[in-house]
Structure 1
Amino acid sequence: MNKINRVAIVGGTHGNEFTGAYLIKKFEQIPALIQRPSFETLTLLGNPLAFAAGKRYIDKDLNRCFFIENLLDCTLSSYEDIRAKAIYQILGQTSNSQVDLIIDLHSTTANMGLSIILGSHHPLLLQLAAYLSSINPEVKVCYTQPEKGSNFLRSLCELGLVIEVGPVAQGVLNAEWFQKTEELIYSVLNYLQRYNQGSIPQTNNTLTYYQYVGAIDYPRNEHGEIQAMIHPQLQFQDYEPLNPGEPIFLTLDGKAIAYEGTSTVYPVFINEAAYYEKGIAMCLTEKQLYSLQNL
């Protein structure tokens, strides 16, 4: 595989996720923290107007603005569409400063702990994820969907990953998660330095990850109003097994609603505040083992 020459760390893609935004501020003040001998590390505040306003976005979710056809569409004129085009020019494949790997920093109100979210099975990403989970038992690895046609910022680069931490309230700077995210970033950069030197750390032969299989919305009435909340037994149980027949919602008048699936799943992003508007009460994953022996 090719050497890593340039890495980008992006924070504040969502303006009210302060962990990543303030880490970018710190790295801009002390750039030596993220520089390594064999590659350059760039920093980028993803959505500066939303960050200044303490809002997730100004007009629309920036992290849903990176379909290539939208990036090339000059008629799209929302603030986030314009910002996405600017980021594409900075980080994308047409840029003189094209990056080899993107780390997009996010925080969540759900109990996701330290999550690494991947969108491809690129060998380097899988080996990196296996290494991070081996040195830190708090690290969980999620795999969403193939990056072909993705509208996420991380899809601007073949080697794109998200660090998602929480629970952290929106618009709040939490010291614990700030420090844990910072240490995880250093672990990523140190791994890439060793990768460039040809001395990749040994890890387990298998990677445990959680494969996205779908999402569930809250029960709603004909007006779209929520009629039930996350059941207390499920709240904060991200990455824990959910079996058919177990309660997932509690109606406003106190009746439990059971999970009607036919197999055990592992919910993530349970009761994520930002997903209410997207019609998502939780995402469902299946627990998988991936062999690294043939990489």
Structure 2
Amino acid sequence: MKKINRVAIVGGTHGNEFTGAYLIKKFEKLPNLIQQPSFETLTLLGNPQAFAAGRRYIDKDLNRCFLHTNLQDITLSSYEDIQAKAIYEMLVQKGQSQVDVIIDLHSTTANMGLSLMLGSHHPLLLQLAAYLSSINPWVKICWTQPEKGSNFLRSLCELGFVIEVGPVAQGVLNAEWFQKTEELIYAILEFLERSNQGLILDFNSTLTLYQYLETIDYPRDEQGEIQAMIHPQLQFRDYQPLNPGDPMFLTLDGQAIAYQGKSTVYPIFINEAAYYEKGVAMYLTQKQMMDLAGNL
């Protein structure tokens, strides 16, 4: 198994997601909390200007600025494009990542618990996911966009992943989720340390994984205005089954709109506040059981 030499923890990629940003502040003051004997742990506040302003971003979403072609494009000069290039130069040199693991901390207004968003099926990530989900019932594992060609910050490293924590309101520090996230980080670092030492940790051989299928927008009129809300029976039911015919949206005049799919799906990021501008009401996922014995 690959030896881990350097880990980067990033918070505040979105400036109004305070959980990760303030954890970075804490770790900068108390670096011994995150150091391990066999590897170095770095910290990075991803979007300092947006954090200072209490906004998601200044000009554009930083976590959509890491396409390789965009990083090489000198004509892209928004604040976030410049910041993405600075982060790239810090974490990648001569095309080679200078860190082995990137942990990108995010919070969400959706009821996502502690969600690990993976972009690859690397054996070490799968082992980590299985271990964390076996010791912590809040942990859920998602397989989203593959890293190749990704515009996410996590794509700067083969073992990069996102932690989404919530529900947490934008621009708010929530002590419960702050502590849950901090404990999860310590568990991740401990796992990586023990992996370096060749120590085998117990974990479930079968991993429950939610694979991304598609995004769903809110019903809109011809002018693009939203005409329906998340149905009350679906609100806060992230990772719960949505069956054909189940209520999905509620129109402004109180009419239910049912899910028209042909099979059961598992919505996540339901009614995420930051996704209104992106035209996303929720992601639909498919629940899978992965036999790690056959994939490692």
Residue of structure 1 in register with 2:207 after alignment: 207
Identity within the alignment, %: 80
1:244–1:262 Cα contact (<8 Å) kept: yes
Name the CA distance, whole Å, in 1 between partners of 2:146 and 2:96: 26
Instruction: Specify whether residues 62 and 206 from structure 1 end up closer, same or farther in structure 2 by C-alpha distance, changes over 3 A only.
Output: same
| Residue identity in the other structure for 1:127 | Q
Give the alignment of 1:142-221 within 5 angstroms: 142-221=142-221
Give the alignment of 1:9-158 within 5 angstroms: 9-94=9-94, 98-158=98-158
Q: Deviations over 1:137-175 (max 9, x none)?
A: 111001102111000000000001111100000000000
90-99 vs 206-215, greater mean Cα deviation: 90-99
Please state how far the C-alpha of 1:97 moved relative to its aligned partner.
7.7
Please state how far the C-alpha of 1:200 moved relative to its aligned partner.
2.7
Residue of structure 2 in register with 1:289 after alignment: 289
Q: Deviations over 1:100-124 (max 9, x none)?
A: 0000000000000111110000000
Instruction: Specify whether residues 96 and 257 from structure 1 end up closer, same or farther in structure 2 by C-alpha distance, changes over 3 A only.
Output: closer
Name the CA distance, whole Å, in 2 between partners of 1:30 and 1:15: 22
Instruction: Specify whether residues 95 and 51 from structure 1 end up closer, same or farther in structure 2 by C-alpha distance, changes over 3 A only.
Output: farther
Name the CA distance, whole Å, in 1 between partners of 2:291 and 2:81: 39
Residue of structure 2 in register with 1:259 after alignment: 259
Could you tell me the TM-score, scaled by structure 1's length? 0.99
Q: How many residues were matched structurally?
A: 295
Q: Deviations over 1:206-247 (max 9, x none)?
A: 110100000100001111110000000000000000000001
| Residue identity in the other structure for 2:266 | Y
Name the CA distance, whole Å, in 2 between partners of 1:276 and 1:137: 29
Please state how far the C-alpha of 1:93 moved relative to its aligned partner.
4.8
| Residue identity in the other structure for 1:130 | A
2:97–2:156 Cα contact (<8 Å) kept: no
Secondary structure of 1:142's partner? strand
Secondary structure of 1:150's partner? coil
Name the CA distance, whole Å, in 1 between partners of 2:267 and 2:97: 38
Q: Deviations over 1:80-103 (max 9, x none)?
A: 000000000111253788100000
| Residue identity in the other structure for 2:248 | I
1:113–1:167 Cα contact (<8 Å) kept: yes
Residue of structure 1 in register with 2:225 after alignment: 225
Secondary structure of 1:212's partner? strand
Name the CA distance, whole Å, in 2 between partners of 1:2 and 1:138: 28
Name the CA distance, whole Å, in 2 between partners of 1:65 and 1:163: 18
Runs of 4+ residues deviating >4 angstroms: none
2:16–2:170 Cα contact (<8 Å) kept: yes
User: Which ranges of structure 1 fall in alignment gaps of 5 or more residues?
Assistant: none
Name the CA distance, whole Å, in 1 between partners of 2:149 and 2:282: 23
**Once superposed, what is the RMSD of the aligned Cα atoms?**
1.0
Residue of structure 2 in register with 1:240 after alignment: 240
Name the CA distance, whole Å, in 1 between partners of 2:36 and 2:26: 17
Name the CA distance, whole Å, in 2 between partners of 1:6 and 1:126: 19
Residue of structure 2 in register with 1:276 after alignment: 276
Secondary structure of 1:277's partner? helix
User: Which ranges of structure 2 fall in alignment gaps of 5 or more residues?
Assistant: none
| Residue identity in the other structure for 1:62 | L
